[in-house]
Structure formats: C-alpha cells, structure tokens
Chains A and B, each alone.
Chain A
Amino acid sequence: MSKRVARLAGSAASLPITLFGLVLTTFLIGRVIPIDPVIAIAGDHAPEAVVAHVRQELGLDRPLLVQFTIYCRHLLQGDLGSSVMTSHPVVQDLAHFFPATLELATTAILVASLVGIPVGVFAAARQGSRFDHAVRIVATASQSMPIFVLGLGSLLIFYVKLGVAPGPGQVDVAYDGLVDGPTGMLVLDAALQGEWDVFRDAAAHLAQPALLLAAFSFAVIARMTRSFMLEALAGEYITTARAKGLSRTRILWRHAFGNIKVPLVTLLALAYANLLEGAVVTESVFGWPGLGRYLTISLLNADMNAVLGATLVVGVIYLGLNRFADVAARLLDPRTR
C-alpha cells in the first residue's frame, strides 16, 4: 500500500521538481558558468554605471543561495530581466515572438500528420513492397539531412532561381503592420479580419518554412506509424478479424489502426515538441520572426537574459508537451482507465 502511494506521489511530485530543476539549470547557466555574469547580461559595451547597477540588482556580491532566491522571486513576478538588444523586458519580447513560432510549428505538424500517418499505415499494409522500401528510404534520408542545408537549398531554388516562392520573413514589407490581430498568427488574423491580400502573402511566406519543418516531422511520424502498425498487425486479434471475414480496409483501419491511437498521440505530442528544436534553425534560415530566431540573435549578441528567458520558456513548453503526451496516453487507453 505504502509502495503504491510512494510511486503515485513520486510521479505527481516529479513535475514541480522538474520545473524547479529547469529554473535551477537556467540560473546556473546564467550566473555560475560565465566568467563574468554581469558582462554577459549588460553586454560588452555597457558603461560603468550600468554594470554597477546590474551587479547590485542581481545581488552578485551576495552568496549564491541569495542570488538564486532573488532570481526565483523575479521569476514568480514574471520578470525575466531586460534584453540588452531590444531594451524591452524579455517577457514582452517572448510574448511578441511566440505566436509566429506557434503558427509555424502548428502548420508543420498538421501537414506532417495528414501526410505521414496514412503513408505509414499503407507502408505497413504493404510491407516489403516497393512503396514500403521507398517510404523507408525517403524517411531515413530526410531525417539525416541537416535542416539548414535543405532550407538554404529550398530558398535558393524556389525563391531565387524559380521565383515561385516569396523570400525570407513572415510577410512582405508592403503589408507589414497592416494586420495586428488578436492571435498574433498572421495568416489566421488576416483571415479573421478579411484582409485577403495580406492573407495570401502571409500564407505564401509561411509555406516554405512550414513545409520544411513538416518534412522532418513527416519522416519520424511515417516511420513510427509504420512501426506501430506492423506490431499491431502481428497481433492474434488480427487473425480473428480475418477469420471473421472482415474486409482488408476495415481490418487495417478499425482494428489495427484503432489499436495504435494511443502511441500515436504520444508520438504526435513529442514530434510537436521536437519541432521547437527544428524551428530554431528554420527561423534563422528564413528570417521568420519567432522564438527560435530571437534565441539565435540573442546568442550572437551575447544577450544573456534573453537567451535564458527563451531557453526557460522553450523548456517549459517542451516539458508540458511531454507530460501532456503521458496524460493523454493514459486517458485514451481503455486498459489503463
């Protein structure tokens, strides 16, 4: 009895503990590892007065534990410090740039699932066929290609050479600022406001980076769906279904696919989380104004507050998605309800 309680308590407590660990890690990265954290935060060229002010504010002359308490206190107040680069509070910057990444990642995962899941199912149904081999090869290859190479290639073929796709950025300069919608996701906002010119332009800009990201998720989704399906198709209940005289389509979708919905949801949540990683590079290549680009530019400017703030937010989202995957899996499986 006590063992079970201990296990349950362990898993319930793990989330806050991990969150605490995230905060601690960013603190360590920001304050402990750099040689002079002040320079890291205030920047190389900060005047003496600013440096002194920052030093006092961070309490860098105080013991580490006190510093950490100050850091946590600021965090709980929603204060992640100020960005040297933009001179806005980091929290404000993050809120500004986050929707663009959300737009990119969500579009990518939708495309990747709508294509990847059926492809995986059909590859499993025709195991060993030419289609199956082709799917495996394409999936392995697209997972092995560095995103930035593919991104650069795509930009320069479709944008520069062929001229069919728009260039970097979220929207053309001409349309910049015309739509300042509720969600911050340009395509959605433009549609909601009926600004169809802006909509078309924004969608065209969204297409390339989203498809690129989708290509990577597609590889993982298709391969894993195929793998899950093969395992499901090996089950005894499939023999029963065949013995019942059901059609192949029904067996494939109602029986086999019906059994992989749970691992599939987990997979999609994790794939979505991994898109955050891919977004960093994609946004850099395509000049997409999202969290990833904010992170890389802050890095290049050695803007420590911004880097840590962005890292912390990404970590929290990633963690949240992983947890969501666990919970969803448990809820959907009739065996664990």
Chain B
Amino acid sequence: MLIEVEHLTVSFPAESGWRDVVRDVSFSVGKERLGIVGESGSGKSLTARALLRLLPTGHRWSAERLRFEDIDLLRADEAALTRLRGRRVGLVLQDPRFSLNPVMTAGQQIAETWRTHKGGSRRDARSAAIDLLRQMRIGDPERVADAYPHELSGGLGQRVMIAMMLAPDPDLLIADEPTSALDAAVQVEILRLLDDLVARRGMGLVLISHDLPMVSRHCDRIIVMRAGQIVEEVPAGGLAEARHPYTRGLLRCLPSLLHPRARLPSLRDTSGWPAS
C-alpha cells in the first residue's frame, strides 16, 4: 500500500466556530490509479493536501492513521516530511500560471527538483531537465526550458509541472484538477500522457477532478466525495452499478449522445444525503 489514511478530518475556522470540510475520510491507494470525484467544496483538494501535510495555515486536521508505505506521517517531523515530498510523492496543481514560479525559467525549476533529490552538477541537472521535457512529448525542449512560465501555453505549462514532479522518480503522483484550466483538446493529450508515464514508471496515481466521465476513463477505481465525506467507492468499470443516490444522480445528469433528452435532470437535495 502506498498510502493508507483512516478517519481524516480537516476543519477551518469560520465565523460560527470550526467548520469540518473533510469528515472522517478513509481510503487507501496502491500502485493503481485512483480517482477522487466531487463538486467544488466537496473537500477533495484538501484531502490531497492533507496527505502531504501541506494544508494552508489556520487549518486544523486529525486522523487515526496516515501512512506512506512504511513512514508514519502522523508522527513525522518537518525534516522527514521534506524528505518524503518530491522524492516519493509528487503533486501537480491546477493552473501552471500560478503554480509555477514566475521569475524562474521552466528549465531552472525542473533542474532544481532534480538536483535537490538526486544531486549532481548544474549541467547534469539541465540535461536531465531537457530530457524530461522530451519525455513529455515536447518537440523543442531547449526553447521551453529557457522560457518563463508566462510565456508558455496552459498545456506546455502543465507538461513542465509534470516533468518537474516526475524528476525525482516518485512512487506516487497526486494530480489535483490537472486539466481543469486547459482546453478540451489539450486535456485529452495531457491525460493520455499521464496514463503513459504512470504505466511506464510503475507509479501510483491519485487523480482529483469534478469531471466524472474523465475520471472513469483514466482510473482503475473511483471515490465519490460530497460535503467532505466519501459517499461511494467503486471500480471504474462498475459505475453503472453504483448504489448511492448522489452518484446515481451525477450519472443521470451526464448528457449522452446515445440517449438524447430534451431536458437534463438536476440534482436535488433529498434526505438520506449527508447534511452540509
């Protein structure tokens, strides 16, 4: 098991006291592709950050169990966490315009990651960075390496981000809405790239998104979250047999070319769903 988490709760201070945004979440991830699906505010991003203990300041969290392989993350000190992050787990964020450092070139940022975890000279790091960019199916890696993030398109930026996170050869990659800021065509390319890389490197992948069909196509197992709680866990192929009313509601809302309808249904809050 790469990651095991049990009874994770995250809360943040609101006007009326502490509000739970992640409630009693438990799951595990192995060398597989796990998808976490939910609306905005369902707590999926915060769950991902909590796994790496990268919650924003001011948040409170607790869990009964949080392990990465043999490392107990509950009791790990800052030094151990720093060793874990990057080297064994990578994190890809949504929008490279904000998640990449604006005043460093793409190549510098990838090389930095490479050098931090593998050591070596600057020249080695730079050629490793260019090689990684080539693995991202970028035609002219030297030009991209010398470019600043604001000079790159969304798709290129995300490839840089992925290259940067894969540089230390981690065992697991967490991708938080990696394609939500991209055009549809570019989305497909990036996801196929991720599939390919993860398969070739024998890594685990946690893919977080609000896009249910996309997750079902690129993951082996799916977790559905709503209002901070997990409501369903199904294998990707078994979506049709999903039992929870929320999941079924989501599935019913998907437009279909095979069964066109005049009016799409919308989700309505009924009793039986967790209160928000």
Contact = CB atoms under 8 A, between A and B. Distances in A.
Within 8 Å by CB, do A and B touch in the complex?
Answer: yes
Contact of B86 (A235, A239, A244): A244
A42 to B, nearest CB: 58
A259 B101 CA distance: 8
A255 interface: yes
Contact of A239 (B87, B93, B103): B93
Contacts, number: 73
A258 B101 contact: yes
B43 interface: no
Given A239-B54, A335-B150, A245 B85 contact: yes
Contacts of A241: 101
Interface in B82-98: 82-87, 90-91, 93, 95, 98
B246 to A, nearest CB: 29
Interface in A302-337: 333-335
A255 B93 CA distance: 17
Contact of A245 (B87, B98, B99, B100): B87
Contacts of B87: 245
Interface in B51-107: 52, 54, 78, 82-87, 90-91, 93, 95, 98-104
B40 interface: no
Nearest to B87: A245
Given A237-B99, A258-B101, A259-B102, A244 B116 contact: yes
A144 B17 CA distance: 37
Interface of B: 49, 52, 54, 78, 82-87, 90-91, 93, 95, 98-104, 112-113, 116-117, 148, 150, 161, 164-165, 168
Contact of B165 (A235, A237, A239, A244): A244
A237 B101 contact: yes
Interface residues of A, number: 21
Given A236-B95, A334-B148, A335-B148, A243 B90 contact: yes
Nearest to A258: B103
A10 B198 CA distance: 54
Contacts of B104: 255, 258
Interface string A153-185: 000000000000000000000000000000000
Contacts of B49: 239
A77 interface: no
B172 to A, nearest CB: 12
B101 A243 contact: no
Nearest to A127: B57
B116 A245 contact: yes
A244 B101 CA distance: 12
A245 to B, nearest CB: 3
B100 A237 contact: yes
20 contacts: A236-B95, A240-B93, A240-B101, A242-B54, A243-B85, A243-B86, A244-B112, A244-B164, A245-B82, A245-B117, A246-B86, A246-B112, A246-B116, A254-B112, A255-B101, A258-B103, A258-B104, A259-B102, A259-B103, A334-B102
